[in-house]
Amino acid sequence: MSTSGPGSGRDDLGRALLAQHPRGEQWRQLDVTIANLTFEQITHMGSLAEERAAERQAVRDRIIARISNPELAGRLASRWIRWKDTFGLPMPAELDDPITVLHHPYLLAQQAPPEHSGWHKVVLPVFDAGLAIAAAGGDQAGIADYELLTAPWRRVCLPSRFTATDAYGPHTQAALRVLRHAEATPTRVVRRMGQVCAEIDGRRWEGAYHAVTEAAIAWGFPLRARSLYWETVPAAEEAVGESPTDPSVVNALWGAAASQAFAGRLDSDTSVLLTRPWRTAGLPLPG
């Protein structure tokens, strides 16, 4: 599992950039709605995006062409990598050029074979919303571009009944406390958790991961498991002070956080396995 993309850091747009950005709060809303997307919402957004498709593509190209801030380009490309992984899309061959990465999901949808093109297209409104929120201009033309690209997401996902406090369900805060605790834990302890996780039989760990994914699907929010994984990545990077960091460290922290977020939805064997690295370090769990 990759833990990084272009411009990766504590969060993909950067705390300072988000604080200064006029649409920073909308970006946070987008994050929450993605974790809580249903298959029905994804399909609905995709059908809405078919309207004015050619115009939408022209707007995408125009916005990307006008991104002159290398930090913004890099951080958006990092988020594209995260979303492509979350939606199960192929990664671009070239990851070092942020602009190439930004174009990739749209080229992928155009070039995908018929048996894959449907899914590749229906998820594009998420990328459109992110692109418009982060990079559309604030003048009249930019606002019109923003309105066009974000329309499917706004119509289907807003207002959201979820916020950052319950983005992963009623036990969200317990899961996030795990990540905050990890960031304050000595680096050697966190690395030891990663070592313990790496020593677990790969097939057993994959089985536990799939159990969490299946629990998310049964819950009706199929992206919650992977969204929580990607929320874990920057916490792991901060905990050990490196980016990218060892995937085993990310997996160890994600396992503990997932055991909390999905409390009551996993069998005991899965929960015990997911929390083994954390408990081996002698750390308590909130739940």
Kindly state whether residues 38 and 138 are assigned to the same domain.
Answer: yes
The tokens for 151 are 């329309």
In a domain, 1, yes or no: no
Task: Say how far residue 265 (Cα) sits from the centre of its chain.
Answer: 22
pLDDT value for 286: 85
Domain count, the chain: 2
Which of 125, 157, 189 marks a domain boundary? 157
The tokens for 89 are 């899309």
In a domain, 285, yes or no: no
pLDDT value for 15: 72
In a domain, 38, yes or no: yes
List CB contacts of 118: < 8 A, sequence separation 6 or more.
46
Kindly state whether residues 218 and 116 are assigned to the same domain.
Answer: no
- All residue ranges of the chain with pLDDT < 70 are 1-12
pLDDT value for 94: 83
* Separation CA 239–CA 181 (nearest Å): 9
Residues 143-181: tens digit of each pLDDT = 999 999 999 999 999 999 999 999 999 999 999 999 999
Question: Where in the sequence is the domain holding 275, given as residue range(s)?
Answer: 172-280
Kindly state whether residues 139 and 244 are assigned to the same domain.
Answer: no
pLDDT value for 3: 36
Kindly state whether residues 63 and 149 are assigned to the same domain.
Answer: yes
pLDDT value for 12: 62
Provide Rg for the chain, Cα atoms: 19
List CB contacts of 204: < 8 A, sequence separation 6 or more.
273
pLDDT value for 40: 97
Which of 157, 191, 224 marks a domain boundary? 157
In a domain, 184, yes or no: yes
CB atoms within 10 A of CB 222: 19
* Separation CA 262–CA 96 (nearest Å): 35
In a domain, 55, yes or no: yes
pLDDT value for 5: 36
pLDDT value for 6: 35
Taking the CA atoms of residue 217, residue 255, residue 211 and residue 9 in that order, the dihedral angle to the nearest 10 degrees is: 40
In a domain, 166, yes or no: no
